[in-house]
């Protein structure tokens, strides 16, 4: 049974360097959420149209993964991350100067595509440089910085818009990404030089074929797709659930979603203790149980406070599962970690995109409460399946 030890000082420095990059790109992803009304007024557009700026960032982020993963394997993961972060900085700065809504959409899409070269390759770098005994705890800390970036993006954007305007907010975001680029550049100069080879599209395709023929990789990709469908498919239905129980609407739903993010921070704080006491397999099973419990309580809860607690439990359980899958995927193909983590990210975002449609079809056919209960059963099954796999791997 492998031990889970706290990261060393050098690993801590690596987590901070990669985490600042993850924070900056996550911050940029949620930047426009509170600015929809202001942007609609400035560009004389419908708020529903402006709201698509969020997808304009995340969709290219997902679609670029199969390309940037093999490029990172060939040219050097940190080298590609640095270029991606620098391009993100430039695109964010240009977005602050966008003369029309159309140009803003284009620049947000380019920002998202560039940012796609950061977090998945950061996981691959962790796989290259952090021993397995320390890796899950180190990745959980990287995850904290990424989650914090998502939360801070919307909060800071809404707070500062009244002071510096939306263009000022985007400029500040570009400065943040630029600072993260500088930190990464300095770290790259101090660290070991990464090997590089010529990028071969044929080799990239061959590696993906090999990955999809590797049972451990297929388990990771299938699991991350399923968890994303169940958890993120729920989010649009939180407000209707609250309204169904007479507990509020969009503002209250925001508290529940915010509690989900806080659950990620709870997981990261508890991860060293849980891993040392239970191991990864039982932790994944515990995560499946917490997710299932939250689905059941969502279906029957009569109180807003319990809804918010459900959000916290859902986030904590989700990240127990998700972080374990992230850690495993860094080891399924040691010679092609960039490709492996990129396909993981692609599967995750594909699951998020499919989740709303799947949840919608299920609620139309079964009803909302039966769908939630079915997801509870699915969460237990997923946690059990992954947990048994972890136990088998230890043997």
189-199 pLDDT, tens digit each = 887 777 777 87
314-334 pLDDT, tens digit each = 999 999 999 999 889 988 888
If you average pLDDT over residues 117-126, what whole number do you get? 90
**HEC string for 89-122:** HHHHHHHCCCCCHHHHHHHHHHHHHHHCCCHHHH
Q: What is the pLDDT, as a whole number, of residue 287?
A: 94
Split at pLDDT 50, 70, 90, the class of 232 is confident
Looking at the structure, tell me whether residues 315 and 382 fall in a common domain.
Answer: yes
- Extract the tokens encoding 335: 């010679």
Least confident of 31-45, 83-97, 244-258, 374-388: 244-258
- 130, 7 contact by CB (below 8 A): yes
Looking at the structure, tell me whether residues 156 and 145 fall in a common domain.
Answer: yes
Write down the mean pLDDT value for the chain: 86
Looking at the structure, tell me whether residues 362 and 236 fall in a common domain.
Answer: yes
Looking at the structure, tell me whether residues 304 and 372 fall in a common domain.
Answer: yes
Range(s) of the domain holding residue 362: 201-395
Query: CA-based angle 9:10:14, to the nearest 5?
Result: 115
21-66 pLDDT, tens digit each = 999 998 888 788 778 888 888 999 888 788 788 778 888 888 888 8
Q: What is the pLDDT, as a whole number, of residue 249?
A: 67
**More confident site: 395 or 72:** 72
Whether the pLDDT of residue 2 is over 50: the answer is no
Domain boundary among 166, 199, 232: 199
If you average pLDDT over residues 99-103, what whole number do you get? 93
Distance CA 309, CA 314 (A): 8
User: For the chain, what is the domain count?
Assistant: 2
| Among 64, 333, 120, 71, residue whose Cα is nearest residue 211 | 333
Split at pLDDT 50, 70, 90, the class of 201 is confident
Looking at the structure, tell me whether residues 126 and 211 fall in a common domain.
Answer: no
Question: Alpha-carbon Rg of the chain, whole angstroms?
Answer: 21
Looking at the structure, tell me whether residues 216 and 100 fall in a common domain.
Answer: no
Q: The domain spanning residue 120 has which CATH number?
A: 1.20.1250.20
146-186 pLDDT, tens digit each = 888 877 777 788 778 888 889 999 999 999 999 999 999 99
Looking at the structure, tell me whether residues 271 and 341 fall in a common domain.
Answer: yes
* Predicted TM-score (pTM) of this structure: 0.81
Q: How far is CA 57 from the centre of its chain?
A: 13
Looking at the structure, tell me whether residues 306 and 162 fall in a common domain.
Answer: no
From residue 321, alpha-carbon distances to 89, 116, 287, 324 in Å are 32, 22, 6, 5
Distance CA 92, CA 373 (A): 42
Split at pLDDT 50, 70, 90, the class of 252 is confident
Looking at the structure, tell me whether residues 105 and 186 fall in a common domain.
Answer: yes
Looking at the structure, tell me whether residues 188 and 236 fall in a common domain.
Answer: no
Looking at the structure, tell me whether residues 193 and 238 fall in a common domain.
Answer: no
Phi, psi at residue 52, to the nearest 5°? -70, -5
The burial class, CB within 10 Å (0-12 / 13-18 / 19+), for 173 is buried
Domain boundary among 143, 167, 199: 199
Distance CA 45, CA 328 (A): 45
The burial class, CB within 10 Å (0-12 / 13-18 / 19+), for 125 is buried
Split at pLDDT 50, 70, 90, the class of 8 is low
**More confident site: 47 or 222:** 222
Distance CA 216, CA 31 (A): 36
Q: Decide: helix, strand or coil at residue 227.
A: helix
Domain boundary among 167, 199, 231: 199
Q: What is the pLDDT, as a whole number, of residue 9?
A: 53
Looking at the structure, tell me whether residues 347 and 241 fall in a common domain.
Answer: yes
267-307 pLDDT, tens digit each = 988 988 898 888 888 999 999 999 999 999 988 888 888 88
Query: What's the half-sphere exposure (Cβ side, CA atoms, 13 Å) at 8?
Result: 7
């Amino acid at each position: 049974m492998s031990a889970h030890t706290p990261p060393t000082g050098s690993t801590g420095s690596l987590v901070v360097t990669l985490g600042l990059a993850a924070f900056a790109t996550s911050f940029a992803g949620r930047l426009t959420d509170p600015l929809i009304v202001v942007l609609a007024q400035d560009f004389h557009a419908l708020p529903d149209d402006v709201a698509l700026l969020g997808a304009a960032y995340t969709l290219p982020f997902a679609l670029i993964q199969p390309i940037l993963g093999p490029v990172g394997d060939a040219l050097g993961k940190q080298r590609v991350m640095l270029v991606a972060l620098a391009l993100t900085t430039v695109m964010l700065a240009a977005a602050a100067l966008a003369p029309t809504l159309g140009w803003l959409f284009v620049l947000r899409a380019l920002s998202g595509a560039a940012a796609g070269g950061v977090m998945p390759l950061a996981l691959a770098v962790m796989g290259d440089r952090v021993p397995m005994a320390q890796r899950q705890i180190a990745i959980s800390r990287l995850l904290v910085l990424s989650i914090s970036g998502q939360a801070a993006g919307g909060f800071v954007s809404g707070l500062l818009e009244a002071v510096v305007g939306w263009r000022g907010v985007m400029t500040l975001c570009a400065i943040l990404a630029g600072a993260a680029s500088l930190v990464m550049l300095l770290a790259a100069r101090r660290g070991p030089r990464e090997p590089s080879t010529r990028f071969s599209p044929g080799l990239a395709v061959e590696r993906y074929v090999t990955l999809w023929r590797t049972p451990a990789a297929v388990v990771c990709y299938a699991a991350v797709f399923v968890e994303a469908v169940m958890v993120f498919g729920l989010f649009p239905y939180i407000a209707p659930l609250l309204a169904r129980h007479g507990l509020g609407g969009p503002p209250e739903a925001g508290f529940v979603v915010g509690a989900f993010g806080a659950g990620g921070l709870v997981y990261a704080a508890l991860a060293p203790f849980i891993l040392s006491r239970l191991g990864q397999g039982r932790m994944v099973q515990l995560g499946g149980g917490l997710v299932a419990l939250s689905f059941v309580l969502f279906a029957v809860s009569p109180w807003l406070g319990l809804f918010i607690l459900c959000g916290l439990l859902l986030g904590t359980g989700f990240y127990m599962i998700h972080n374990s899958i992230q850690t495993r995927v860094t080891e399924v193909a040691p010679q092609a970690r960039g490709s492996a983590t990129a396909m993981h990210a692609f599967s995750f975002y594909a699951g998020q995109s499919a989740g709303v449609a799947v949840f919608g079809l299920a609620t139309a056919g079964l009803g909302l409460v039966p769908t939630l209960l079915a997801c509870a059963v699915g969460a237990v099954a997923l946690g059990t399946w992954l947990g048994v796999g972890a136990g088998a791997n230890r043997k």
